[in-house]
Copies of this chain bind each other. A is one copy, B any other.
Amino acid sequence: MVKDKGIEKKEMLYEGKAKQVYITEDASKVIVYFKDDATAFNGKKKSQIEGKGKVNNHLSSLLYTYLEEKGVKTHFIQRLSDREMLVKAVTIIPLEIIVRNVAAGSMTRQLGVEEGTVLKKPIVEYSLKKDELGDPFVNEDHIIALEWATEEELKKIRSEALIINKLLIELFSKAGLRLIDFKLEFGVNKDGVLLADEISPDTCRLWETQTGRVMDKDRFRKDMGQVSEHYEEVLERVSKVLAV
């Protein structure tokens, strides 16, 4: 039991692939601990990216603070340490919300669209968060009919995802980065739907605007090398933009 900025970290509630979640003395708050563990291809590729947990915690904290200032409701309360973040406890809606601005990754293979194709408008995709099923792609009808979210929640999630997309595109572009696509998770607490989880180079595709250089988890997926260096560069660039 570590007292950390006055918050007592108690038992681990659950451990995911990249983070651990701990309960605190306050049932409405949990502590998220960011690990260096990296996985890809539905868990088939596993490794560590040194310092990743630290970068993702710092960057997520910056981004959630920025989004909150712009009116987006998030789970973020405060960063507690290099790897720990205090957040509002939520019931995670079991969906991965993917927003795409440019075709890349699985979409190019599945739909025969060339990587780098700029989409006429952002695409919102939903995957059921269920590792055993390989996070299958679902649509809004499945979500409502199978009761993974209510119609009201889904409407909110979709509109928030599109607003977040605009805000992040703007921010990253000032940092010389193109936001190709990203994944969000939302949760529900007594106040309604909140943006939860993290936003980091683990959950975004970011290409350097000038050169197209890959600055995200694809460096790990595709064994491109210098993974942590690129994660750190993203953090530095965003920090600089937000410090102004």
Contacts and interface: CB of A to CB of B under 8 A. Distances in A.
B110 A136 contact: yes
Nearest to A133: B112
Residue of A113, A122, A123, A136 with most chain B CB atoms under a 10 A cut-off: A123
A137 B123 CA distance: 14
Contact of A111 (B110, B123, B136): B136
B112 A141 contact: no
A196 interface: no
Interface residues of A, number: 27
A147 B124 contact: no
A145 B121 contact: yes
Interface in A122-181: 122-126, 128, 130, 132-133, 136-142, 144-147
Contact of A141 (B123, B136, B145): B123
Contacts of A112: 130, 132-133
A119 interface: yes
A190 interface: no
A239 to B, nearest CB: 32
Q: Is the interface of A mostly helix, strand, loop or mixed?
A: mixed
Given A125-B139, A137-B137, A139-B139, A113 B146 contact: yes
Contacts of A123: 139, 141-142, 145
Contact of A120 (B110, B130, B145): B145
Contacts of A126: 139
Given A120-B147, A147-B120, A141 B113 contact: no
For the complex of A and B, list the 8 residue pairs with the smallest distance between their C-beta atoms, beginning with the closest. A123-B141, A119-B145, A139-B139, A110-B136, A120-B145, A123-B145, A121-B145, A112-B133
18 contacts: A110-B136, A111-B128, A111-B142, A112-B130, A113-B146, A119-B145, A120-B145, A120-B147, A121-B141, A122-B141, A122-B145, A123-B141, A125-B139, A125-B141, A125-B142, A137-B137, A137-B139, A140-B140
Given A120-B144, A123-B139, 6 more contacts: A112-B133, A121-B145, A122-B145, A123-B142, A124-B141, A137-B137
